[in-house]
Structure 1
């Protein structure tokens, strides 16, 4: 396997803890440096991990002991940090979305291509056993020809539990940009790329109240739509219905259902790596749980980074930049359709990511 890929972490906030756990468990990866706008956060990571140095962002991207930059900053900073890393000749793995806009995201991908480095992006949850088992069932013909899917995410909003939720309610946030990547990436993994969309959007209120942490009770403004719904037409001919909301309390709808002419699947939460996949066949007797049929076992956030490290340079990683760009393009098209009231063509496309055979390790 050779020497581990040396990782420099930029952004040591809430989500970093999950990535650090995965990096510590992956022999292909070794954390060597950490940076954050708050130097104390970077020092805390360095103090907790032997061999890790706390640096500035500029020092980190220039450091020869960093092969790949793990970009866990807020969405508005994703493109900026990616460009710094690319200019220094580093591969980049970022949190979703790839950038706030497709214009910024295209500039990132073009810069990476020109520099001969690679870009990959969360979510990597679709590489776990949940979505990959559903994919294996679809690919095996278990539901026949896929014709439709329904994806639903309903919640009251992250301000109830997140101590600094401001970024959820500015450009690059909202339920679509925050949670949509999980669901749309899963839909593309299961059914292939999207060619056109019809969307509608609204926001229930102009402010939100932080519910936890030192800022509990503070009011923050809302500048993005907080309920987005849409119809997606896939290149394959299948159609998906999407509902993403921070304006409701709960739902009993499955996270994702996929329907074909011979059966239907219930797909587990695409914000998780595992979960049961249920199949109901036209010729069968109700729902049954499928055995695990694909995916990285016991995966956690950061397995996409390990997948990038294991992928040959001339092969697109499974959580690659082209997929992330297409997902962002679909989301941007949905919001454009909501504004115009008309169907919008999705100009980009991508390859359906390679499946993950069960038992494979990155």
Structure 2
């Protein structure tokens, strides 16, 4: 991080005015951080070649940088200073480790660059607020992952809520259980450029900070800002079989109830203990909507009418809650194929959304206010001991518009 610190000192003496976007229809971007998730972003760049132009990549690890650059054929910058001194780069994709997000974002903002950060925006809501305030003071735009709320499956679910398919919504559940990953053969999980899944970082950051955003963003887009959070978290399996042992493992289980305006309540569960289950369900007075996998843009959305008669309730008990569900038509076909290791999400849709918002002067759907809000709620879920119970959420955001093709 010495290079980043030195660059920050130099940029304090520079003009803080934001660098303008590259002339023409495409926005010049640079990837900072070439770790495991960077391959998922890079894989989907081709879907946005009319809007995004990758200028180059950088990582503080020379071997990792060389492997990523060789895999994708991208220009490798020699330093972060070189990235932020390149006038072609208007938007920085901060794909570093979670504990480095705030520091790298701050340096990029000081250099007058717009930033799209991997989640979380900061490891605390205080960090996230500081990034938001710095971006506004510098006149640059800031947004953060996850972007699955922009995907076809989430947009299909959202349209069903808006159009009243399930009637008046009262309750929502999100399961983000990944199974006992520490017992899986994760040491063989490699990205396309050869980066092994960063187990130590994942276990120390915590499954809630890593995954809760996939549910919180969808629920917040549908129902508005979270007003209160009542949560519990615990470290159930301290020994994650790492070598050496983890000095500070994060909670591996959390559960929280999120209260929204209008009386809607959502329960969000995160763990790397319970068996794999990523269902999102929304319960209305006319029935239940279900999205089986929020990480998959092609995941079907199903609706099952409420069981109110004696026979239908008996069938539900005998055959399960999925009995009689019908698949809803997606808002549009998913514009990419998966398989052979390809990601089931379009990770580049978030950066493309930010770039288009900057280019057209509109509000970004994943803007800094939304990112701060998601960070605050996530911190309340993972670390309820830091807040009152129930915790009152201080952040808010303006209403988010569905995608144009999903209206």
TM-score normalized by structure 1?
0.89
Unpaired runs of 5+ residues, structure 1, are 211-216
Cα offsets for 1:76-108 (capped at 9, x unmatched):
000001011101110001110111011111110
Question: How far off its partner does 1:237 sit?
Answer: 2.0
Q: Does 1:275 find its partner at 2:275?
A: no
CA contact (8 A) 1:143 1:259 kept: yes
Unpaired runs of 5+ residues, structure 2, are 1-22, 190-195, 313-323, 337-344
Secondary structure of 1:293's counterpart equals coil
Q: Does 1:166 find its partner at 2:166?
A: no
**1:301 maps to what in 2?**
347
Cα offsets for 1:295-352 (capped at 9, x unmatched):
9743611111111111246422122222121111112223453566721111111134
CA separation of 1:312 and 1:69: change in aligned 2, threshold 3 A: closer
Cα offsets for 1:244-301 (capped at 9, x unmatched):
11123344xx611001122210023222222100012349993110001269743611
C-alpha distance in 1 between matches for 2:387 and 2:112: 41
CA separation of 1:335 and 1:60: change in aligned 2, threshold 3 A: same
RMSD, aligned α-carbons? 2.4
Larger strand percent = 1
**1:20 maps to what in 2?**
42
Q: Does 1:327 find its partner at 2:374?
A: yes
Using the TM superposition, name which of 277-286 and 343-352 deviates more.
Answer: 277-286
Matching of residues 235-314 of structure 1 within 5 Å? 235-251=261-277, 255-282=279-306, 286-293=324-331, 297-298=335-336, 300-312=346-358, 314=361
Cα offsets for 1:24-72 (capped at 9, x unmatched):
3312111112111112222333344456232311221222121100000
C-alpha distance in 2 between matches for 1:296 and 1:197: 34
**1:33 maps to what in 2?**
56
Using the TM superposition, name which of 184-193 and 77-86 deviates more.
Answer: 184-193
CA separation of 1:55 and 1:25: change in aligned 2, threshold 3 A: farther
Count of matched residue pairs: 350
Question: How far off its partner does 1:74 sit?
Answer: 0.5
Secondary structure of 2:53's counterpart equals strand
CA contact (8 A) 2:141 2:358 kept: no
Secondary structure of 1:291's counterpart equals coil
1:186 to 186, 203, 218: 218
C-alpha distance in 2 between matches for 1:198 and 1:295: 38
TM-score normalized by structure 2?
0.80
